[in-house]
Structure 1
Amino acid sequence: MYKIYDCLTNQHDLVLVLIAIAIGLGGIHTAFNLYARACIGRWQQKIAWLFLTGVVTGGGIWATHFIAMLAYDPIVPVGYEPGLTAVSLIIAIATTMIGFAIASVAGPHLVLSRVTGGLVVGLGISAMHFTGMSAMRVPGIISWHMDIVIASIIMGAVFAMLSLWFAEAARTPRQKLYGKASLTVAVATMHFSAMGGFVVTPDPTVPVPAQLISQHYLAIGVAIVATLLIAIGFVTALVDRQMRAHVSNRMRILGDSAIEALVLTQNGRVVDSNESFLRLTGSKPHEILEQDFLARWLPDTPPAFQTGNLNYVETSLRLDDQKELPVEVIRREIPADDISDDTIIYGLRDLRERYAAEKHIRFLAEHDSLTQLLNRTTFNDRLGEALAESDETGIPTTVMCVDFDHFKELNDSFGHIAGDHALRELGERLSKLVTDEVTIARVGGDEFVVLLHHQGRTKATEINAHSQEVAQQILDCIALPIFINQENRAKLSASIGVAHYPVDGADAESILFHADLAMYRVKQSGGNDVVFYSSEMDEEYRFKRQMASNLRIALENRQLELYYQPQCHADDEEIQSFEALLRWNDPELGQVSPGRFIPIAEETGLIIPLGEWVLRTACMEAARWKKPLGIGVNLSAVQLQKHELPDIVASVLAESGLDPKRLELEVTETALIHNPARSMKILSDIKKLGVRIAMDDFGTGYSSLATLQNFPVDRIKIDQSFVNKLVGNVQAGAIVRAVINLSRDLALDVIAEGVETDEQANFLTDHDCRAVQGYKYGYPRPIADYWHIVHPEEPVPGTTEPVVAEANRHSGIETV
Structure 2
Amino acid sequence: MYRIYDCLTTQHDIVLVLVAVLLGLGGIHTAFNLYARACIGRLRQRIAWLFLTGVVTGSAIWATHFIAMLAYDPIVPVGYDPVLTAVSLVIAIAATSVGFAIASFRGPHPVLSRVVGGLVVGLGISAMHFTGMSAMSVPGVISWHMDIVIAAILLGAVFGMISLWLAGSARTTREMLWGKTNLTIAVATMHFSAMGALIITPDPTMRVPAQLISSEYLSVGVAVIVTILIAIGFITAMVDRQLRAHVSNRMRILGDSAIEALVLTQNGRVIETNESFLRLVNAKQDEVNDSEFLSHWLTEVPQAFRNGSISYVETSLRTRDQVDVPVEVIRREIPADDFSDNTVIFGLRDLRERHAAEKHIRFLAEHDSLTQLLNRTTFNDRITEAIIEADETGVPLTVMCLDLDHFKELNDSFGHIAGDHALRELGERLSKLNSDNITIARVGGDEFVILLHHQNGPDVALASANARAVAQDILDCIAIPIFINNNHRAKLSGSIGIAHYPSDGEDAEAILFHADLAMYRVKQSGGNDTVFYSSEMDEEYRFKRQLSSNLRQAMENDTLEVHYQPQCHADSHEIMAFEALLRWNDPQMGNIPPSRFIPVAEETGLINQVGEWVLRKACQEAASWRKPLGIGVNLSAVQLQDLELPNLVRRIVEQSGLEPKRLELEVTETALIHNPARSMKILSDIKKLGVRIAMDDFGTGYSSLATLQNFPVDRIKIDQSFIAKLIGNDQAVAIVRAVINLSHDLNLSVIAEGVETDDQARFLTDNDCNEVQGYKYGYPRPINEYWHVVHPNSNDQDIAADLAKSANRVSGSEAR
Same fold (TM over 0.5): yes
Task: Show the counterpart of 1:36.
Answer: 36
Cα 1:329–1:472 shift into 2, 3 Å: same
1:639 paired with 2:606, answer no
CA contact (8 A) 2:394 2:457 kept: no
Other structure's SS at 2:84 match? helix
Q: CA deviation at 1:426?
A: 1.2
1:408 paired with 2:408, answer yes
Q: Which moved more, 1:213-222 or 1:203-212?
A: 203-212
1:526 paired with 2:526, answer yes
C-alpha distance in structure 2 between counterparts of 1:120 and 1:235, whole Å: 27
Task: Show the counterpart of 1:245.
Answer: 245
C-alpha distance in structure 2 between counterparts of 1:746 and 1:90, whole Å: 131
Task: Show the counterpart of 2:751.
Answer: 751
Q: Which runs of 5+ in 1 are unaligned?
A: 803-816
Task: Show the counterpart of 2:625.
Answer: 625
Q: CA deviation at 1:458?
A: 3.2
Q: Which moved more, 1:295-304 or 1:456-465?
A: 295-304
C-alpha distance in structure 2 between counterparts of 1:239 and 1:540, whole Å: 98
Task: Show the counterpart of 2:487.
Answer: 487
Q: How does 1:28-427 map to 2 (within 5 A)?
A: 28-427=28-427
1:539 paired with 2:546, answer no
C-alpha distance in structure 2 between counterparts of 1:28 and 1:397, whole Å: 84
Q: CA deviation at 1:276?
A: 1.7
Task: Show the counterpart of 1:742.
Answer: 742
C-alpha distance in structure 1 between counterparts of 2:701 and 2:68, whole Å: 121
CA contact (8 A) 2:278 2:284 kept: yes
Task: Show the counterpart of 1:809.
Answer: none
CA contact (8 A) 1:788 1:796 kept: no
Task: Show the counterpart of 1:576.
Answer: 576
1:722 paired with 2:722, answer yes
1:20 paired with 2:20, answer yes
C-alpha distance in structure 1 between counterparts of 2:74 and 2:478, whole Å: 109
List per-residue Cα deviations over 1:548-607 (Å, max 9, x = no partner).
111100100101110001111111211110000011111100111111111111111111
Cα 1:540–1:49 shift into 2, 3 Å: same
CA contact (8 A) 1:255 1:274 kept: yes
C-alpha distance in structure 1 between counterparts of 2:419 and 2:623, whole Å: 45
CA contact (8 A) 2:755 2:776 kept: yes
CA contact (8 A) 1:260 1:347 kept: yes
* Number of positions where the alignment pairs a residue of Structure 1 with one of Structure 2: 802
Q: CA deviation at 1:339?
A: 4.6
Q: CA deviation at 1:694?
A: 0.4
Task: Show the counterpart of 1:762.
Answer: 762
Task: Show the counterpart of 1:790.
Answer: 790
Q: CA deviation at 1:436?
A: 1.2
C-alpha distance in structure 1 between counterparts of 2:327 and 2:155, whole Å: 50
C-alpha distance in structure 2 between counterparts of 1:795 and 1:421, whole Å: 69
Q: CA deviation at 1:797?
A: 8.3
List per-residue Cα deviations over 1:701-724 (Å, max 9, x = no partner).
111111111110000111111111
Other structure's SS at 2:370 match? coil
CA contact (8 A) 1:373 1:442 kept: yes
Other structure's SS at 1:510 match? helix
CA contact (8 A) 1:139 1:203 kept: yes
CA contact (8 A) 1:578 1:631 kept: yes
Q: CA deviation at 1:330?
A: 2.0
Q: CA deviation at 1:142?
A: 1.3
Cα 1:88–1:216 shift into 2, 3 Å: same
Q: CA deviation at 1:307?
A: 2.9
C-alpha distance in structure 1 between counterparts of 2:321 and 2:455, whole Å: 40
CA contact (8 A) 2:456 2:462 kept: no
Q: Which runs of 5+ in 2 are unaligned?
A: 803-816
Q: Residue type of the partner of 2:280?
A: L
Q: TM-score, normalised by structure 1?
A: 0.96
Other structure's SS at 2:735 match? helix
Task: Show the counterpart of 1:678.
Answer: 678
List per-residue Cα deviations over 1:758-789 (Å, max 9, x = no partner).
12111211111111111111111011111111
Q: CA deviation at 1:233?
A: 0.2
C-alpha distance in structure 2 between counterparts of 1:238 and 1:350, whole Å: 38
CA contact (8 A) 1:515 1:533 kept: yes
Q: TM-score, normalised by structure 2?
A: 0.96
Q: CA deviation at 1:634?
A: 0.4
CA contact (8 A) 2:443 2:449 kept: yes
Q: Residue type of the partner of 1:193?
A: S
C-alpha distance in structure 2 between counterparts of 1:336 and 1:28, whole Å: 31
CA contact (8 A) 2:282 2:321 kept: no
Q: How does 1:427-576 map to 2 (within 5 A)?
A: 427-576=427-576
CA contact (8 A) 2:159 2:182 kept: yes
C-alpha distance in structure 2 between counterparts of 1:381 and 1:226, whole Å: 85
Task: Show the counterpart of 1:7.
Answer: 7
Q: CA deviation at 1:799?
A: 8.7
Q: CA deviation at 1:633?
A: 0.3
Cα 1:543–1:790 shift into 2, 3 Å: same
C-alpha distance in structure 1 between counterparts of 2:535 and 2:754, whole Å: 38
1:779 paired with 2:779, answer yes
Other structure's SS at 1:778 match? coil
CA contact (8 A) 2:669 2:696 kept: yes
Q: Residue type of the partner of 2:99?
A: G
List per-residue Cα deviations over 1:54-93 (Å, max 9, x = no partner).
0000011111111111111112211111111111111111
CA contact (8 A) 1:244 1:339 kept: no
List per-residue Cα deviations over 1:414-460 (Å, max 9, x = no partner).
21111111111111111111111111111111111111111234312
C-alpha distance in structure 2 between counterparts of 1:338 and 1:192, whole Å: 43
CA contact (8 A) 2:260 2:348 kept: yes
List per-residue Cα deviations over 1:124-155 (Å, max 9, x = no partner).
11111111111111121111111111111111
CA contact (8 A) 1:403 1:496 kept: yes
List per-residue Cα deviations over 1:348-385 (Å, max 9, x = no partner).
22222111111111111111111111111111111111
Q: Which moved more, 1:612-621 or 1:355-364?
A: 355-364
List per-residue Cα deviations over 1:295-331 (Å, max 9, x = no partner).
3332233333333333222222223333222222222
Q: Which moved more, 1:479-488 or 1:16-25?
A: 479-488
Other structure's SS at 2:346 match? strand
Task: Show the counterpart of 2:809.
Answer: none
Q: Which moved more, 1:35-44 or 1:313-322?
A: 313-322
C-alpha distance in structure 1 between counterparts of 2:83 and 2:430, whole Å: 100
Q: Residue type of the partner of 2:687?
A: K
Q: Residue type of the partner of 1:275?
A: E
Q: CA deviation at 1:471?
A: 0.5
C-alpha distance in structure 1 between counterparts of 2:732 and 2:326, whole Å: 77
C-alpha distance in structure 2 between counterparts of 1:760 and 1:90, whole Å: 143
Other structure's SS at 1:726 match? coil
CA contact (8 A) 1:41 1:342 kept: no
Q: Residue type of the partner of 2:790?
A: V
Cα 1:583–1:70 shift into 2, 3 Å: same
List per-residue Cα deviations over 1:613-668 (Å, max 9, x = no partner).
10000000000111111000001111111111111111111111101111000011
Cα 1:587–1:524 shift into 2, 3 Å: same
Q: Residue type of the partner of 2:753?
A: E
Cα 1:125–1:51 shift into 2, 3 Å: same
Q: CA deviation at 1:529?
A: 0.7
C-alpha distance in structure 2 between counterparts of 1:233 and 1:18, whole Å: 22
